[in-house]
Chain A
Amino acid sequence: MALLQTTGVAPLTAQDLQRTGALSRWISRHAAILILGVLLVFLPTVASDFILVQVFGWGMILGIIALSLMFLGGYGGMVSLAQMTVAGVSGYMITVFGASSLPAISLFWPWWAAAPMAIVIAVAFGALTGALSARTEGIYTIMITLAIAAAFFYLTLQNWPIFNGFAGFTTIPAPIAFGINWKHPVPLYYLILFFAALSYAVVVYISRAPFGLALQGVRDNPRRMEAIGYNVTAHRIAAYAFAALIASIGGILMVWLNNQISPGSTGIEASIDLLIIAVVGGLGHPIGAFVGAFIYVVMRTFALDALVEVGLDGRRFQTLIGLTFLVIVLFSPDGVIGLWRRWSARALSQDRGTRR
Chain B
Amino acid sequence: MATAFGNEGPADGTGSGDAFGRWIGRHPIWALIIAVVMIFALWLVLAPWPAGFEDVFGKKRLFINAILNGITLGGLYFLVATGFTLIFGLMRNVNLAHGSLYLFGGYMGYEATQWTDSWLFSYVVAFVCCAIVGVAMQFFIFRRMEGQDLRQTLVTLGLSIIFSDLMVWIWGGNAIQIDTPDYLLGPVATPIVVAVKSNGETVFLQYPLVRLAIFAAAVAIGIGMWLALNRTRVGVMVRAGVDDRDMLSVLGYRVQLLFVLVFAFGAGLAGMAGIVGGTFQSLSLGDDSHFLLASLQVVIVGGMGSIPGAALGAIIIGCAEQFGQTYFQNYATVLTFVIMVIVLAIRPQGLLGRR
A21 at interface by CB-CB < 8 Å: no
Asked if B165 contacts A144 (CB within 8 A), the reply is no
* Known contacts A151-B333, A159-B331, A161-B330; is-contact A279 B154 (Cβ 8 Å): yes
- Which listed residue, A155, A268, A279, A319, touches B289 by the CB 8 Å rule? A268
* Known contacts A138-B149, A139-B94, A325-B161; is-contact A158 B332 (Cβ 8 Å): yes
* Known contacts A160-B330, A329-B154; is-contact A147 B165 (Cβ 8 Å): no
Binding site for B on A (CB under 8 A): 79, 132, 135-136, 138-140, 142-144, 146-148, 150-151, 154-155, 158-161, 268-269, 272, 275-276, 279, 313, 315-316, 318-319, 321-323, 325-326, 329-330, 333
Separation of A143 and B296 alpha carbons in the complex (Å): 6
Residues of B within 8 Å of A316, CB to CB, are 165, 169
Q: How far is the CB of B45 from chain A (nearest CB, A)?
A: 28
Asked if B158 contacts A329 (CB within 8 A), the reply is yes
Asked if B332 contacts A326 (CB within 8 A), the reply is no
- Which listed residue, A135, A139, A315, touches B92 by the CB 8 Å rule? A139
B82 at interface by CB-CB < 8 Å: no
Q: Is the interface of B mostly helix, strand, loop or mixed?
A: helix
Q: How far is the CB of A332 from chain B (nearest CB, A)?
A: 11
Residues of A within 8 Å of B333, CB to CB, are 151, 154-155, 158
Asked if A142 contacts B153 (CB within 8 A), the reply is yes
Residues of B within 8 Å of A146, CB to CB, are 96, 292-293, 296
B7 at interface by CB-CB < 8 Å: no
Residues of B within 8 Å of A142, CB to CB, are 94, 150, 153
* Known contacts A132-B344, A135-B348; is-contact A144 B149 (Cβ 8 Å): no
Shortest 8 CB-CB distances between A and B: which pairs? Answer: A322-B161, A322-B162, A318-B165, A326-B158, A150-B293, A154-B333, A151-B337, A325-B158
Residues of B within 8 Å of A318, CB to CB, are 161-162, 164-165
* Known contacts A313-B169, A322-B159, A330-B155; is-contact A136 B150 (Cβ 8 Å): no
Separation of A147 and B154 alpha carbons in the complex (Å): 16
Residues of B within 8 Å of A143, CB to CB, are 94, 296, 299-300
New A-B contacts (7) at CB < 8 Å, excluding given A151-B336, A318-B162, A319-B162: A143-B299, A147-B293, A147-B300, A147-B337, A155-B333, A279-B154, A333-B151
Residues of B within 8 Å of A161, CB to CB, are 330
Residues of A within 8 Å of B341, CB to CB, are 132
Task: For A140, give the chain B residue with the smallest CB separation.
Answer: B304
Asked if B348 contacts A136 (CB within 8 A), the reply is yes
Asked if A326 contacts B348 (CB within 8 A), the reply is no
- Which listed residue, A138, A159, A321, touches B161 by the CB 8 Å rule? A321
Separation of A132 and B344 alpha carbons in the complex (Å): 7
B166 at interface by CB-CB < 8 Å: yes
Residues of B within 8 Å of A150, CB to CB, are 289, 292-293, 296
Residues of B within 8 Å of A158, CB to CB, are 329-333
Residues of A within 8 Å of B162, CB to CB, are 318-319, 322-323, 326
Q: Which of B153, B332, B340 has the largest number of chain A CB atoms within 10 A?
A: B153
Separation of A328 and B165 alpha carbons in the complex (Å): 19
Q: How far is the CB of B317 from chain A (nearest CB, A)?
A: 11
Separation of A142 and B165 alpha carbons in the complex (Å): 22
Return the CB mask of B120-159 against A: 1 if under 8 Å, else 0: 0000000000000000000001000000011101110111
Asked if A147 contacts B331 (CB within 8 A), the reply is no
B306 at interface by CB-CB < 8 Å: no
Q: How far is the CB of A208 from chain B (nearest CB, A)?
A: 25
Within 8 A of A (CB), among B54-95: 92, 94
B334 at interface by CB-CB < 8 Å: yes
Q: How far is the CB of A4 from chain B (nearest CB, A)?
A: 35
Separation of A276 and B164 alpha carbons in the complex (Å): 16
Return the CB mask of B225-247 against A: 1 if under 8 Å, else 0: 00000000000000000000000
Q: How far is the CB of B326 from chain A (nearest CB, A)?
A: 13
B297 at interface by CB-CB < 8 Å: yes
Task: For B169, give the chain A residue with the smallest CB separation.
Answer: A316
Residues of A within 8 Å of B337, CB to CB, are 147-148, 151, 155
Residues of B within 8 Å of A268, CB to CB, are 289, 293
Task: For A73, give the chain B residue with the smallest CB separation.
Answer: B150
Q: Which of B155, B165, B300 has the largest number of chain A CB atoms within 10 A?
A: B165
Within 8 A of A (CB), among B299-346: 299-300, 304, 329-334, 336-337, 340-341, 344-345
Residues of A within 8 Å of B332, CB to CB, are 154, 158
- Which listed residue, A79, A159, A323, touches B150 by the CB 8 Å rule? A79
Task: For A139, give the chain B residue with the smallest CB separation.
Answer: B149
Residues of B within 8 Å of A326, CB to CB, are 155, 158-159, 162
Q: How far is the CB of A266 from chain B (nearest CB, A)?
A: 13
Please name 7 pairs of A and B residues whose Cβ atoms are closer than 8 Å in the assembled complex, sorted by A. Answer: A132-B344, A143-B94, A151-B334, A160-B330, A272-B161, A319-B162, A322-B159
Q: How far is the CB of B16 from chain A (nearest CB, A)?
A: 29
Task: For A142, give the chain B residue with the smallest CB separation.
Answer: B153
Q: How far is the CB of A30 from chain B (nearest CB, A)?
A: 30
Separation of A138 and B348 alpha carbons in the complex (Å): 13
Residues of A within 8 Å of B92, CB to CB, are 139
Asked if A147 contacts B149 (CB within 8 A), the reply is no
Separation of A151 and B294 alpha carbons in the complex (Å): 10
Separation of A136 and B340 alpha carbons in the complex (Å): 13
Q: Which of A79, A143, A279 has the largest number of chain B CB atoms within 10 A?
A: A143
Q: How far is the CB of B115 from chain A (nearest CB, A)?
A: 26
Task: For A77, give the chain B residue with the smallest CB separation.
Answer: B150
Separation of A138 and B304 alpha carbons in the complex (Å): 13
Residues of B within 8 Å of A276, CB to CB, are 157-158, 161
Residues of A within 8 Å of B349, CB to CB, are 136
Separation of A276 and B141 alpha carbons in the complex (Å): 19
Q: How far is the CB of A127 from chain B (nearest CB, A)?
A: 14
Residues of B within 8 Å of A330, CB to CB, are 141, 155
Asked if B340 contacts A147 (CB within 8 A), the reply is yes
Within 8 A of A (CB), among B149-206: 149-151, 153-155, 157-159, 161-162, 164-166, 169
